[in-house]
Amino acid sequence: MSNATTTPTLQPAIPRAMSFYDQLKFDANGLVPAIIQEQKTGRVLMMAWMNRASLEKTLVTGKTHFWSRSRQKFWMKGESSGHTQTVKDIAFDCDGDTLLIQVEQIGAACHEGYRSCFFRSAQNGGAAFKITEPQLETPEQIYGKK
Amino acid sequence: MSNATTTPTLQPAIPRAMSFYDQLKFDANGLVPAIIQEQKTGRVLMMAWMNRASLEKTLVTGKTHFWSRSRQKFWMKGESSGHTQTVKDIAFDCDGDTLLIQVEQIGAACHEGYRSCFFRSAQNGGAAFKITEPQLETPEQIYGKK
């Protein structure tokens, strides 16, 4: 008779590819771009960069956290303005190198006081541009006078 | 009497900042990320990179053209699959370093046959992920068997 039943069977390791994080490809600087979309309206609000630590912080806290390439530091969206973003869903693309995050946005997403950072569009084949939405607040109203 | 009426007046030069292109900040590689959104549904379909020449081609032809960082060449979305994107609007963000392009999409935007490249979302705090939309076609159906 076979002694197979007495031989301990090794369970296959859970493939690392099962994890969300393992699907992602951070760039040479350890970053991925994160597109932020307002879930209830579909309005694309902004794009900013995340490293793995800021993404983990986003998942744990439920508020968007980014990595500032110019200031080389973490920032939570709304930490100065109060205009925080509550995370509803985090999707990633087929190449694993871009995130699409659905949020509930408080106030203006743009530091210039517009609902969306994409408040200007090209016109006349690129010869000009126009502003496409109202400014909700001035930067002074959001951040206070310096 | 004043001789003001006989003095030729110099018209101020049209500020370069009036052009859409002059609002943009291409990165060190001459690229900007372009978020592609389906205008009629608000679904974010994909993100790809443009250099100035591919953006000009997009504006002139009305079809999205990108720059492939991996292949170092231009590509028109849909050139192999027929799944082209007709441009409806080109917006840019407050920093001028990201584009948001509204399109009319033919067929699946994703080369894996999904409507959107963002067909997977994180689950269980990042420990797993799920597929969130149906696959419309297989890559073989789109591109033919190799």
Q: What is the C-alpha separation between B99 and A27, in angstroms, rounded?
A: 20
Q: What is the C-alpha separation between A50 and A75, in angstroms, rounded?
A: 10
Q: Do B117 and A42 touch (CB under 8 A)?
A: no
Q: Do A120 and B90 touch (CB under 8 A)?
A: no
Mutate to test the interface with B, among A121, A131, A136, A138 (most CBs of B within 10 A): A121
Residues of chain A with pLDDT > 90, as a percent, come to 82
pLDDT at B4: 47
**CB-count burial class (<10 Å; 0-12, 13-18, 19+) for B27:** exposed
Measuring CA to CA, how many Å separate A59 from each of A53, A56, A64, A101, B127? 10, 5, 8, 11, 11
Cβ distance B34 to B104 under 8 Å? no
The distance of Cα A24 from the centroid of its chain, to the nearest Å, equals 13
Q: Over the stretch A79-104, which tens digit does the pLDDT of each residue have? A: 999 999 999 999 999 999 999 999 99
Q: How far is A21 from chain B (nearest CA, A)?
A: 6
Q: Do B111 and A94 touch (CB under 8 A)?
A: yes
Nearest to A23 among B90, B111, B129 (CB): B129
Question: Which residues of chain B have a CB within 8 Å of the CB of A92?
Answer: 118, 120-122, 129
Task: Name the average pLDDT for chain B.
Answer: 90
Q: What is the mean pLDDT of residues A39-66?
A: 97
Q: Do A123 and B56 touch (CB under 8 A)?
A: no
Q: What is the mean pLDDT of residues B115-139?
A: 95
Tell me how many residue pairs between chain A and chain B have CB atoms under 8 A apart: 123
pLDDT at B19: 87
pLDDT at B9: 59
Q: Is the pLDDT of residue B1 over 50?
A: no
pLDDT at B70: 86
pLDDT at B69: 85
What's the token pair of residue A135?
A: 């400014």
pLDDT at B144: 85
Q: What is the mean pLDDT of residues A72-77?
A: 94
Residue with tokens 């935007």: B109
Q: Is the pLDDT of residue A13 over 60?
A: no
Q: What is the DSSP letter of A28?
A: T
pLDDT at A69: 85
pLDDT at B37: 98
Nearest C-alpha in B relative to A94: B117
Q: Do A90 and B119 touch (CB under 8 A)?
A: no
Those residues whose C-beta lies under 8 Å from the C-beta of residue A29, and which sit 6 or more positions away, are A69
Q: Over the stretch B63-82, which tens digit does the pLDDT of each residue have? A: 999 999 889 999 999 999 99
Nearest to B121 among A21, A91, A122 (CB): A91
Those residues whose C-beta lies under 8 Å from the C-beta of residue A36, and which sit 6 or more positions away, are A44, A45, A46, A47, A48, A64, A77, A85, A101, A103, A105, A109
Say which range, A46-60, B2-16, B127-141, has the weakest mean pLDDT. B2-16
Q: Do B23 and A129 touch (CB under 8 A)?
A: yes
Nearest C-alpha in B relative to A121: B91
Question: Given 3-state DSSP classes, what are the helix, strand and coil percentages for chain A, each rounded to the nearest 5?
Answer: 20, 35, 45
Q: Over the stretch B13-66, which tens digit does the pLDDT of each residue have? A: 555 557 899 999 999 999 999 999 999 999 999 999 999 999 999 999 999 999
Q: Do B23 and A120 touch (CB under 8 A)?
A: yes
Q: What is the DSSP letter of A72?
A: T
Q: Which residues of B touch A (CB under 8 A)?
A: 18-21, 23, 33, 35, 37, 41-44, 46-47, 55-56, 59-60, 89-95, 98, 100, 110-112, 114, 117-123, 125-129, 132
Q: What is the C-alpha separation between A32 and A14, in angstroms, rounded?
A: 25
The b-or-e profile of B105-143 (16+ CB within 10 A means b, else e) is beebbbbbbbbbbbbbbbeeebeebeeeeeeebebeebe
Those residues whose C-beta lies under 8 Å from the C-beta of residue A41, and which sit 6 or more positions away, are B42
